[in-house]
Structure 1
Amino acid sequence: MDFFTAPPPRVQEQEKERENPPWTGPPNDILGGIVPIERMLFRSETLAIVLANAVAFPAGVTIRLQMAARRVEGVNEDTWWDRHDLMFGHHRHRFRAEDSLPDEVVRFGVRFPDGSKATTVDGRTDSGEWPPPCPEGPILKRSRGGSASGDDRSVSSSWSLWLWPLPPPEPFEFAVEWPLYDVPLTFTELDGAAITAAAERAQPYWP
């Protein structure tokens, strides 16, 4: 007779599927409509920032960015690896209302024709409540995921930003600024009509 025996299987109640509110990020059960953009937002000797495309859903849109940096003569090891990590998005910052933004923080934002705007440095945080209370829009936040690779000479990364709600079907502005890399506040016009049309093409994976 065995002394040690396996316990009987645990019977667990099936948990109800928790649906994330649309302002928290893109849905995971819908095929979004793709809008190719392929716009160079900024380029210098050391950095390139490209707005690659947008993936539109009924409630919002994912904006996909590509960034690449290279090490040039005169940049020492410590400086390079600090900048390398920033491309991965490894540095987290906490801001107070009276603080100025550190130069190493990359800033993205949108501005609509009515003057409303949203940025990735608004400082909005999750409340911890569930379901979370609906915030006042618009919201622009970095989505989880993305990818990056690099070495001691160059680094590239892909970032995704979630914009909620869906922008109006008219031109609006996308903004970028990154003082550490000498990126001035730069606005690029995007076609809101193309994004809303793409959202109409979105389709659920299952009926």
Structure 2
Amino acid sequence: MPIGRMLFHSGTLAIALSTVTAFPEGVEINIRMAARLVEGVNDDTWWDRHDALFGHRHHRFRPGQSLNDETIRFGVRFPDGAKATTLDGRLERRDWPPPRPEGPILDHRGGGGGSGGARSATSRWNLWLWPLPPPETFEFAVEWPAFGVPLTFTEIDGATIAAAAGRARPYWP
């Protein structure tokens, strides 16, 4: 379902939460990003931004390790105070079905699509949020210091996501 919320916008970068696909137990969140080259930005900076936009410069964060500014951070905070970020650790995918996590998780699941060149670039990132958010307003956060994105919170209507999850049907019985 469309969400269409701008998470961050500047003269050189836009980050939007475009759509979600709601399942009975979680949500796939689709992020769209676009960057453009403007006067005064050198080639090295542009190509670093270009590569980061496509996830080519993915930085793994480990507890106890300092976080570098090139790492984009997404997060959620529910009304009860529960929160999760894309830095909390990845889900282990060796076991199926995977073990149920202790609390909420927000996992980067790749992306792709888009286009890029010498003057502009667009990309799509997919995130997985578990469990399904409560049917009330919650916060979605983004931060990307290297590219001038301060910690920014955007309110998302959990009721519409919960309603969509209620309409979800399995592919096979």
TM-score for the superposition, normalised by structure 1: 0.78
Deviations along 1:142-166, one digit per CA (max 9) or x if unpaired, are 1234323100100000111110110
Count of aligned pairs between the two proteins = 173
Q: Amino acid of the residue matched to residue 177 of structure 1?
A: E
- Match of 2:110, SS? coil
Aligned to 2:23: 57
Verify the 8 A CA contact 1:87 1:148 in the aligned structure 2: no
Within 5 Å, give how 1:13-52 maps onto structure 2. Answer: 34=1, 36-52=2-18
Aligned to 2:60: 94
Deviation at 1:71, TM superposition (A): 0.7
Cα RMSD between the aligned structures? Answer: 1.6
Say whether 1:67 aligns with 2:51: no
Percent identity (aligned)? 68
TM-score for the superposition, normalised by structure 2: 0.92
Gaps of at least 5 residues in structure 2 are none
Q: Amino acid of the residue matched to residue 6 of structure 2?
A: M
Say whether 1:147 aligns with 2:102: no
Aligned to 1:103: 69
Gaps of at least 5 residues in structure 1 are 1-33
Bigger CA drift: 166-175 or 86-95?
Answer: 86-95
Greater share of residues in strand: 2
Structure 1 residues 122 and 144, CA gap change in structure 2 (3 angstroms): same
- Counterpart-to-counterpart distance in 1, 2:18 and 2:60: 29
Which of 70, 81, 92 is matched with 1:126 structurally? 92
Say whether 1:191 aligns with 2:171: no
Q: Which has the larger radius of gyration?
A: 1
- Match of 1:103, SS? coil
